[in-house]
Every structure is written in C-alpha cells, then in structure tokens.
Structure 1
Amino acid sequence: MPIPPMRGSKASAYECNNASEVSLVSLLRGIANLPARSASSRTNNHSARAVATRWVAALRKDYSPLPRGTTATVLRLLFPEEDTPRKYDLQEARLASYLGGCLDSSTVFTRDTRKLKSWSKESFFGCLGEELLKFAVPGTEGNVGPKSLQEVDALLDELAATSQFSDKFFHAAYPSPRSKTIILRVLYDSLPATDAAYLTQIILKDLRPLLYAPPTTSTSHVLLDYNTRSKQVLTKEQFMTLWDPSKILLQMYRVRARLDEAAMSFEAGGTLVQARPRCGVPIEIPKSAKGRCPQHALELLDSCDRIWAETKYDGERAQIHVNYSSDGEMSISIFSKSKRDSTLDRAAVHPIIKEALSAMPPQPIILDAEMVAFSEERDAIDEFWRIRGLIARSAQGPRSNIISGKGEQAHDSHSLDTCPSLHSNCSSESSDGLHLALVFFDVLLVGYASFLNVPYAMRRSVLESAVREIPGRAFIAKRELISSGPETSIENASQRLREVWAQKIVDCEEGLVLKAGESVYGDWKLPWVKLKKDYVPGHGDTIDLVIVAAGWDKDRARELRVPPSILTTFYVGALGNSSQMKANPDVKPHYVVYFTASYGLTREQLEEFNFWMRSDSVDSQEELGVLPYTYSMLRTLPKPSVFVTSPILVELCGAGFTKSPQCKYYELRFPRITKTFRPSERSFMECLTLRELQTVAYAAVGREAQDANEYGDIEEWSRRLWGKENEVQSDEKQVKRMHSRDEWEHKLQTEDLRRRNGKRKREEVEMSP
C-alpha cells in the first residue's frame, strides 16, 4: 500500500522507484520486526518511534509535497482503532468467512483459503491476519501491492457505507454501495500476503497482534522474561509529532478529536487556522490522575491557588454539542467517552437538554455532562447499571435493537449446565419512577469562543449561568472548597478533603474529582485528580470467591502481549447451595458462575497461577460430569478453555458492585484478583455463599439487607429488598452512618500518615481516562 507520487498522480507502485521503502506496509513491517527486549535489559536501541521517524523522512524526501488528504489517510490506516466514523460490521469469524470466498481466485494465496470459512470453529483464538499468512504462495510475501493508500482508503470508505453504524457522510457519499463481498474482493485482488494480513487487521481495527506480537509461545518465557515495555508502542500522539514537529496537528486533534477533521484542519493552513472546537466534532477527553490518598492528591496540585472537590457521579460520559439552524431550530449531538456518536441512543435526554438551556440565547455550546439514572421514589441518583435498561427503552436508530436485546448478541453465547434463574434481564426489576437525568460539570464552547484555555473557575461560573437546573432531570455537579489558597496549609486541606471524601463514601457516591481553580481543560501541569476508595491501596470492596474455570481473552491478552496458550481470564463463582449441603453432606457443592476477572495478578503471579491451574484442569470439551462440584454459568459469558478439578479460593477487590445484562445478581465492578490461596492455606469451601455476596453488595450500594435470612429463596429476598425504602432514617441507622464516616476518616488519615512518614512508596502518577 504505497503512497502515490507527488502532485496527486495515480501512478501505481510499480512506477515508483522507492515505493517499497515508503509503503505503509514497510512501516508496519519495520515495527513488527523490531526485537523485543527482555525485562532485565536496560537498553533499547530500537524503537517503533525511531522506525516511524525514518519512514516519515523517506516519505517526505521522495514524495514532497504530499498530495492533499495524505495525512488523514495515513493516520486512519495506521491507527484504525481511532477511526471511529467508519464501521464495517466485521469481526474475526465473519470476515474470515468472507475472505474464504474472496481469495479463491487469488494468485498469491493457495486454494486452501476456503478453510477460512470455518476458521472460527477450528481456531477460535488468535489473529486472523497472521492466519492469512499461512495460505500465502511461497515467495510472494514481500511483493509490493498495486494499490495506493488512497485507493485502499476509498474502498474502505465504500465498505463503511455498507454498515448502518457508520457516519452518515459515508451513506451520502455512497448511496448505493456494492456488496461487502464485491468490495472485499476488489480490496484483496492481487494484494500480497503481507499487505493482506495488515489490511485484515485494519478492517478489524486492531493492528496490535501483528505489530506487537508475543516474542515467544512459551508461557513461562513470555511472562517472566518480557513485559509490556519490551516493545514500545507507537502512539498516535508520538506519530502526530513526528509528522508535524510544530505540534499543530496534535493541537488540532485535542480540539477536534477525529483523525480526518484534525488532518483536514492541519493541511488547510496549519498556523493560519486556529485550533477551535466545532459543534458536531468530539473534543478529546483529558485523562485524570489517580489520587492514592488525600495527601497524594493534594501534592499533585501543590502549585495552584484554590482547589475544589467535585462529586464524581456514577454514570455515562456525555459530551453534548448544541447548535442552531438559521431559523432557530436546536440541533443536538452527543458523544460518548469513546468518541462514538450516541445521539440517537440517548434520545431520552434531548428534551432535558432543551429545557436546561432554554434561558440561553440561541448560540452554539458544548457541555460536559454525566448521564445518570434517577429514582423519583428515593429522590436520588440510582445505580449505574440501571442506565442500561433505561436506554434500552428509549434508544432510537440502528443501535436500538442491539441495546434492547432484540437483535443478535455481539458475541457468541454458550450454555454450560446453565441455570435459567440467572437469565432474567435485570432491567425487568421494577423501574417505575426511574428515568435518565444529566449532571453538567463543564462548558467547552459558547458561541464561537473556545473555553478550553479558560480557567476552571471561570468555566464553572459560565456553566452555572448557562444551565438551568431541573429537579430530578438536570443538575450541576456539587462541589466543596478544599483549599482557599496559600493561606490554607496542606494539613488543613488534607483534613477537609478527608471529611468530604469520607462522607461521599458513606453516601455511596462513586468518588470525587479535584480541580484547581486556575487549571485549563486538559491541563497537564494541574490535572484533574480522581479519588475513589478502590484507588487507596487495600480499601476497595474485597470478597473471597472461587475460580472454577479460565480462558484466553483477546483484548486482555493483547494488552499483556501473550499468546493463546496463556490463561488470562478467570471465571468467578459463589457457593449457591450451602443450605442443601448442611442438610445433606453427600450433596456436591454447586457454584453460580456469572462474572470473570482478568486483572490484579503480576506477570510472575499469572505465570504461577497458569501452571497451578493447568496441572489440575480438564478441557472444557471433555466430559465434565467427573468434577466434584456442579455449576451454573451465565449464558452470555464466553466459553472457557479449561475447568479446574478443585476450585481455587481467591481474594477479589473491586470498585463497588454492579449487575451485568441478563443477570439479576450483584457482581464486583472492575474485579481484580489480589490473593490466591492454595488448598493447604485455605479451603475453597470458605468462599462466600451467593446470599452472603448479595448481602455484602446491598450494603455497599446503600440498600438494607438485614432481613436476608428471613427468606429461604434468594429470588424472593431480592424482590423484597427492592421495595420502597423508608423516607425517614432511624436513629440507629444515623448512628451507624456517622460511625462509618468516622472510620473512613481514620483510614484516610492513616494513609496520609504513611505517606508523610515515607512508609508508602512514592509511585509514579497513574493517569486514567
């Protein structure tokens, strides 16, 4: 896929003397061929950034000036995961089936490519692009393809037009696109195997398995001798800086976070074009620092004046763009945290936006908000998982069937000795009096004036004047003043922050976000600092459950850069028949398995855990009746690779509790395995029962569960717990809350003292989206 020559000529690659050196595949191959350094190595003379630097220099030498549109084309193909406007409706299994029919007449692939039609059955795991190389005619892998980047990019535009989820621009440009089969046949026609492999992963929007493949298939070797820093990833920010050392392109992207928009603005004039937001184009959401304790959080903002603590609401991010037509008609666009256009999905909040902005004169405005579920009965914001059911009832457009469950599921489902009671949709629980609401917390554009470089204090003032609060519908984020300036000592500020944070924990709020009064949006010197109780070492929600099975998860494996031979994801279960076992000692333990955990273990611990599980496991395809326990597994969970003969007790830590689609029971949110126990240390029978787990969860989310033992049936108990709560809290409950708040203040103070006395190591600042 070479760059066409200068002046926009349509000459093919074979007419370019140095096409092989500057083709995009040469860049991708150069990154892929970089040797991975071992974890013990201190030097790294080869990096993806260095390869890209040489490639950009060669490109500009041979083809300068580059044809208009080259910047966008290169960025879209090099970082396909950021190419959000184009959707293809093609995952591995479906694309493999298409390729099995499209490559039958290829001169660079063998006739055996028809086997790809059943690839998902034969090779459920792995990389489809790499699989394609197995069918290459020997000696053709290094050929240079006949298509230019622009030709490939245009065909991908047409392929995107076949998906109803793509941006409307593609549907307008290709009102009657050819079928996927025809477009793919043209795309792959005469394409060398290496080019085809990379193109396949570009369509799948994931080049990681080819560019940063595991250096070895050995479980011990890849986990112990290598890590994620063994081969540095080329980021889009790094490449944008290489492409444009003046960093104008990068500045454009932060303001208009779509590759084509940023590239077009950059090529249109560079320094002549001001980096200003535009309604209808998402703005890059800045990352926040994780505060490990009040002292640590305040140290990150020690050079600022006033510090505010905003309540962090448990909802879905909504970047709201409002524009007006010439006749005064309001137009609304809403972008999710991932920059996806979710305007139609969130149709239920459009009337709220219109009413909240009704006092403003008609002018463009961009707002940051959190979409939450609101309970009229409780007169309070409800739990995060409730949002899913509320969106399903009101979503419009092509995604509505998927969200509501009327369409096909996004992944395969497997029934493994399934328990029907697990499959009730949690949204079916009483949702009377529940509706979506918005909590506004920032303003980024008003009229034609960008507020990205305006201090937070001023942005907050403008927000309060622009947004009209509506009871139960529209709110402005609550905040507390933590430090009023240099006259506030760090000790007094820490004490104030501990008080505010402890109260939020007791109120079952998600956390806080510290913001400096003089900080601009996305300020890297004075970043937002998120405070959540699970960020404090040892203070997340912790429970003991068992691992009964394990598998290889594609996304987690590519984060760790490990092959399919390594178990990355573990299936968690709770004991579901403790009362029957007490009544009859001959009854086998029965585990209810309805969520998984993929994080928490170090590479060394993961290697040991893999060895431990493999030595006591049976393949999931084998007869599982020999297991000394029974289980029920949620149908929406992917099928595991192995089951263990003896369940393994583990300690899990998470950020509160939530519910998954199709399941009525609470599970840990963002679960992490923090400890594993050998049978000689603790028996797997010491895990929580399902009822005990639900009791812990109800308490953590602010529900009363004191009468749990009153009911023999957990489903009846769950239904009763969701009854209307008393409007007035008892004195006993008030005392309990005050005691809990005091306990949290003490815990946070202890963490501050540890940090002050040097007992807590000074870790690097960790940033999160």
Structure 2
Amino acid sequence: MALFADVASLAEYLSGEPSRLKKRAAIAAALRSAHSAAPASNDAGLLALYIAGTPFAESDPRKLNAGGALLSSAIKAITGATDAALTTAYRRHGDMGAAAFDLWPLQATVTLTLSEVATTFAAMPFAKTTAVRGELVQRLLRRSSPLEAKYLLKLMLGDMRIGVKQSLVEEAIAAAASVEDGTQVLVKAVRHAVMLEADLSRATAMAFSGTLDQAMMRLFHPLGFMLASPVESPEEAVARFSSKPIDEAEEVRVEAFLEDKYDGMRAQIHCGESSRVAMYSRNKEEITESFPDLLEAFASVPASTGGLILDGEILGWDFATGRALPFAVMGQRIGRKRVQAELLRKIPAVFMVFDLLYSAGELQLDKPLKARRNALEAIVEQLGTLATSPIPIEDRTPPAQADLFSQLEPTAAEEEKFARLMLSPSRLVESAEEIDRAYAAARARANEGVMLKAANSHYQPGRRGLAWIKLKRELATLDVVITGAEFGHGRRAGILSDYTFAVCGPAFHQTGELLNVGKAYSGLTDAEIAELSAWAMAHTLEDQGHFRTVEPIRILEVAFNNIMRSERHASGFAMRFPRILRIRDDKPLEEIDTLDRVEEIYQSQVDKPVE
C-alpha cells in the first residue's frame, strides 16, 4: 500500500521545482509507481487527488470542517508549543503546515497509508462535535513525521502551495497511463472525463484501465466557469473582435454579442432532474441554502428538459422598478445558511441567465455561442411561467427539496408568484461608438459595465481567454495615507504587504483626525512592497502581532470600483476592489483626500442603495 510519506516527499520536491515539465514527470512517475504496486487499489487515484490539494472529489459534497482553530489546537496538543511559539513560526512562513514542521517531534517510523488518511477524512464530516473531529485529526497527526504533518495540514486547509494546479495533474495522469506499446492517453480525454465525472481519482483509474471513453456526465457538480479578460476602452474591445476586412474600403465589423455586466453573484444552477436543485458559486461552493426563493422556483423545472445547467448571475431584484439592487444590498444574503422571511421580502433574488451549459442530456460547451444563445432563449420562454415563487409574508422553515410540493395551502397574499428566471438582454454590436453608448446605458441602469463575447466562441470551463471580455471603468481614485500594515501569506510571509489606509476626518485640522476607509494588497511591484515593508517595520507605532499600526506619513493613490457604507472602518465607508496605483511620496499628508470627498463619490454612484 502507498504511504502518505510518498505524497509528502513528492509535494516537498514539487514546491522547490520551478520547471513545469519536471513537475509533470515527477507526478507521472509517482502515479505509475503507485498503480504498479497495487493495481486493484485506489492508491494512484488518491495520490492524484491529494497532490492536486483536494481531500475529496469535486462531485463529493462532504467537507472536512477542519478550520485553523481546530488545527492550531491539534498542533499545540501534539508539540507542546505555546501560542507565542506557534504564532512566531506561522509569521515566519505564513503557512500553518510549514509552521508545524518547525515545531514537530521526530517520528521514528513512517507507516501512515493513503487509505488510512482517506478513512479518517471520510469520518471527519460526520463527527457530531468539534471535540470528536479534533480527536480524529490528532490521531492522524500523532502518527506523522514532520514532513507528513506539514502536508496533511496543508491538505486539510485546502492550500498546498506547491505550484501544482489540477490541469498539471491531469497532464501527469495522461503521461502515467500511456504505455510503451504505443498506446497514448490524450490529456484532452483525461480532462473531459474529469469534467464529466468531477472526480480526479476516478479519472485516474479510468485512464489506467483504458475506459476514459465511458465517463458519463452527471448533474449536481459544478463545471468550471468561463471567465472574461478586462479591457480599458471600447476601441480595445473592437480590436479584439473585429473581422478582417476584405479590402481597405470595407468597414471593419465587430463579431461579438454585447450584454450588461451585472454586479451580483456569479452562479450555476443545476435543475430539471426530479425536483432537485443545486446552485454553485464561482469558487464551486454549493450555495443553494442561501437562496430558498430560487430553490422553490427552479424545483418546478420539468424533467422533460433532460436536465439543465445554466450560467448566470444571482441578483437582488427590485420588482417594482425592474432593476437589480446594488451589491451592497445583495451582499446581505450571501453566505447565510438560513434566510428569514423579512430578508426574502427586502431582497428577493432572481437568476439572470446568460449561457447554457447542459440541456437535453448533452453538454453544450462545444457549440458556438450563437447556437447556445438560441437554445437558451427557447428554454427561458418555456420556463418563464414555471420558474416562479412567492415572496413570503411570514417566517417558515425552508422545505426539504422533496417536500416543495406538499406545503400548506398559501394565503391569498402569498399566491402571487414572481418570475425568478430572467434572460440577460444580448445583441450584436458593430462599432466602438455603439459599445461606448451601451456602456453609458448600462451604468445608467446601475450595472457594472458591459460584456462582449465572440459570437462563435465555445464555452471554455475555467479559462480566462480573449473570447469574452469585460469593459469596466474605475469609479475614481483617492489619495490616502497608510495607517497600518499586515503580514502577508505564502510568498509574502514575513512581509508587511497588506496596507490599511485613511482619509482626513472632519477634525483633521484641529486634532489630526484620520479615518480608515480601506485596505489593499495589490498593485505594487515586489520591489515597492519590500521597500514599504521595511519602512513599516521602522515606523511601527504599535505591534499587535500580525498587524502593526504605523506612522501616517506615506501616501498612496488608490483606485476602486465602488464605495459602500460600512461599519468595518471608522470612516463609515469601505472601498470595493481597491487597487494601489502608485506611491505618492511627492504629496504631504495635508493634501490627502477627505471624508467629504468620499461622501461625494459615494453620492455620485448610480448604483448606491436607496437611503
């Protein structure tokens, strides 16, 4: 049986190897060795899964429920380390697994097998208490060498940090399963099987057995989301999508669909199989429980559709005006396990669909966007009167999916049902001027901007290519002063790289009042971060461990997409998607922006909440 030490040793090698080809070769060799040693076992599949950084298959909804607090307690219990010692080790590496490696007692024998790790992982989601789960973790770790403990902790936290993505493991599976007699396993076939089955371990077994062509699509596991690349102007968008003119006299025409870019929550909805419904976020987390109004509506989708996977945006919706609610309002519903009737009334949700990934028992990904759009329009027309649900007038326990159609009779006030499925308007565009007008109209509707999608593009899960682009413009910039710095993680461990910043408060000229308005960690070069980190160390006013307050003398220019009212900062505002544009050492503190300026920008937003 393969040992977890094999995974740990391989992961340690991969973390220090910059060559992608050498990484792939090392993973392939380890997979081939694990399969040859025990062809009937699942060792090779588990090795592939763990090196990819996932304790369970993507199609498996189980969670380890092992957070930082539980794992920190386990480390201290086994090593005898104090809080201070663990904090020091963590700050040194920015990684709990590496911190544990520094503190771990030596283990003379290494006997922990992959199947034993899998058995413990399988038990953890069903542990009835944190204490029971903690005991399972400790039992596993007490049998581990320092290197095994390092990578067990990384695996449980879902952050291996070894420079290996799933796509590289898929390539290694294909290489490992290819044999000397000339039979070649194609990476494309492995990736297709992984997409259909959502199970890297099972795809590994299928590759070695030559049965990749038997992979079958199943609903209720998320496919990768196709992503868009940003552009800064309509002219840049036209250059991306223009067809080549036949002669110089012919006008260049754009071959792209244009639609509004909504500021909601990107999601997939899987439905149409019995009355089951599942919703998945962009990071592939299931979010169904947070949207019982959508669950009830999409449970009405008939099985005659052959099952559907729809790609779109979950929006808070104002049915009176026919517009999306600001994200600052919609955000109140995100992440909730139980949504009270009051919130369902205040922020009703709709699903703004813009793509079709699966229907009539077939994936639609390889069809051009034009064909997918035509099919989607027909589906939305069919489901428009079915995918509806009422706005509740009182709290009630969310029904189990199987019980959706066995509820008590609704009151007269509840009988009105609202359409929860909407089709994102889309049209072909032909010029930069048309895109510019569409952008202005989208902002007037309180949407983020516009999307442009190549009319003949296929859907590429998990890819950010040039077939889809998004045009968003920064709302404004502010000159701010750094008031605090926080240590980063991973590559930025030991570096003060996350900066909290402030604007002048109303009493600035009397008392020097500064009010924090945001925090950012992106936009600077490595050299600039190193310089700012050294400066923050030298100008620390208060050391709070992971965070330091600093002398307010360094000025930054920051850009952002939105400003929201927020209790997170003393200013009463928070920036959305802040980015550092540059360090402004040419500006004195007295010239930074004020709270009045922040309020002015906030009030200028067409998508601010109604107050």
TM-score by length of 1: 0.65
The aligned runs of 1:316-465 (5 Å cut-off) are 316-325=265-274, 330-354=275-299, 357=301, 361=304, 363-376=306-319, 378-391=321-334, 395=336, 399-400=337-338, 434-465=347-378
The match for 1:197 is: 150
In 1, Cα distance between equivalents of 2:345 and 2:139: 53
In 2, Cα distance between equivalents of 1:76 and 1:508: 43
Any conservation in 2 of the 1:49–1:238 contact (CA below 8 Å)?
Answer: no
1:453 partner SS = coil
The match for 2:81 is: 115
Tell me: CA distance 1:155–1:551, structure 2 relative to 1, closer, same or farther (3 Å): same
CA-to-partner distance for each residue in 1:155-177, whole Å, 9 max, x for gaps? 1121233389xxxxxxxxxxxx9
Candidates 474, 477, 492, aligned match of 1:542: 477
The match for 1:87 is: 63
**How big is the shift at 1:33?**
4.0
In 2, Cα distance between equivalents of 1:460 and 1:662: 42
**How big is the shift at 1:574?**
2.4
**How big is the shift at 1:672?**
0.8
The match for 1:490 is: none
CA-to-partner distance for each residue in 1:208-254, whole Å, 9 max, x for gaps? 2xx4xxxxxxxxxxxxxxxxxxxxx2322012112114112222233
Tell me: CA distance 1:249–1:144, structure 2 relative to 1, closer, same or farther (3 Å): farther
Any conservation in 1 of the 2:559–2:579 contact (CA below 8 Å)?
Answer: yes
Structure 2 residue 32 is matched with structure 1 residue 60: yes
RMSD: 3.4
Letter in 1 for 2:117: V
Structure 2 residue 551 is matched with structure 1 residue 645: yes
Identify unmatched segments of 5+ residues in structure 2.
Answer: 176-185, 245-253, 386-417
In 1, Cα distance between equivalents of 2:384 and 2:589: 52
In 2, Cα distance between equivalents of 1:300 and 1:660: 38
**How big is the shift at 1:446?**
1.4
1:207 partner SS = coil
The match for 1:675 is: 582
In 1, Cα distance between equivalents of 2:279 and 2:209: 27
Tell me: CA distance 1:206–1:61, structure 2 relative to 1, closer, same or farther (3 Å): closer
In 2, Cα distance between equivalents of 1:644 and 1:118: 22
Any conservation in 1 of the 2:330–2:347 contact (CA below 8 Å)?
Answer: no
Tell me: CA distance 1:650–1:82, structure 2 relative to 1, closer, same or farther (3 Å): farther
Tell me: CA distance 1:24–1:592, structure 2 relative to 1, closer, same or farther (3 Å): same
The match for 2:422 is: 475
CA-to-partner distance for each residue in 1:384-432, whole Å, 9 max, x for gaps? 121222457xx5xxx44xx99xxxxxxxxxxxxxxxxxxxxxxx9x997
Any conservation in 2 of the 1:87–1:163 contact (CA below 8 Å)?
Answer: no
**How big is the shift at 1:665?**
3.6
Any conservation in 1 of the 2:45–2:200 contact (CA below 8 Å)?
Answer: yes
Letter in 2 for 1:253: V
Structure 2 residue 476 is matched with structure 1 residue 552: no
CA-to-partner distance for each residue in 1:330-388, whole Å, 9 max, x for gaps? 11111111111111122221233346x47x84531111121011124543111112122
The match for 1:689 is: 594
Letter in 2 for 1:254: M
**How big is the shift at 1:521?**
1.2
In 2, Cα distance between equivalents of 1:459 and 1:525: 19
The match for 1:609 is: 532
Identify unmatched segments of 5+ residues in structure 1.
Answer: 5-12, 14-18, 35-45, 104-112, 165-176, 212-232, 405-427, 484-492, 622-638, 704-720, 724-769
The match for 1:241 is: 171
The match for 1:513 is: 451
**How big is the shift at 1:600?**
0.9
Any conservation in 1 of the 2:174–2:207 contact (CA below 8 Å)?
Answer: no
Once the two structures are aligned, what percentage of the paired residues are identical? 19
Letter in 1 for 2:376: L
Tell me: CA distance 1:241–1:163, structure 2 relative to 1, closer, same or farther (3 Å): farther
Runs of 4+ in structure 1 deviating by more than 6 angstroms, as ranges, are 523-526
In 1, Cα distance between equivalents of 2:437 and 2:214: 47
Any conservation in 2 of the 1:277–1:283 contact (CA below 8 Å)?
Answer: no
The aligned runs of 1:476-625 (5 Å cut-off) are 476-483=423-430, 493-522=431-460, 527-534=466-473, 539-554=474-489, 558=490, 561-564=491-494, 566-578=495-507, 587-621=510-544
Any conservation in 2 of the 1:375–1:435 contact (CA below 8 Å)?
Answer: yes
Any conservation in 1 of the 2:34–2:44 contact (CA below 8 Å)?
Answer: no
Structure 2 residue 604 is matched with structure 1 residue 655: no
In 2, Cα distance between equivalents of 1:547 and 1:291: 29
In 1, Cα distance between equivalents of 2:433 and 2:488: 43
2:235 partner SS = helix
CA-to-partner distance for each residue in 1:280-326, whole Å, 9 max, x for gaps? 1111112322223333334434469841112111111121111333x
The match for 2:7 is: 24
1:568 partner SS = strand
Any conservation in 1 of the 2:443–2:606 contact (CA below 8 Å)?
Answer: no
In 2, Cα distance between equivalents of 1:512 and 1:182: 51
Any conservation in 2 of the 1:93–1:119 contact (CA below 8 Å)?
Answer: no
Tell me: CA distance 1:60–1:79, structure 2 relative to 1, closer, same or farther (3 Å): closer
The match for 1:419 is: none
1:234 partner SS = coil
Tell me: CA distance 1:87–1:287, structure 2 relative to 1, closer, same or farther (3 Å): same
Candidates 97, 100, 113, aligned match of 1:132: 100
In 2, Cα distance between equivalents of 1:159 and 1:461: 46
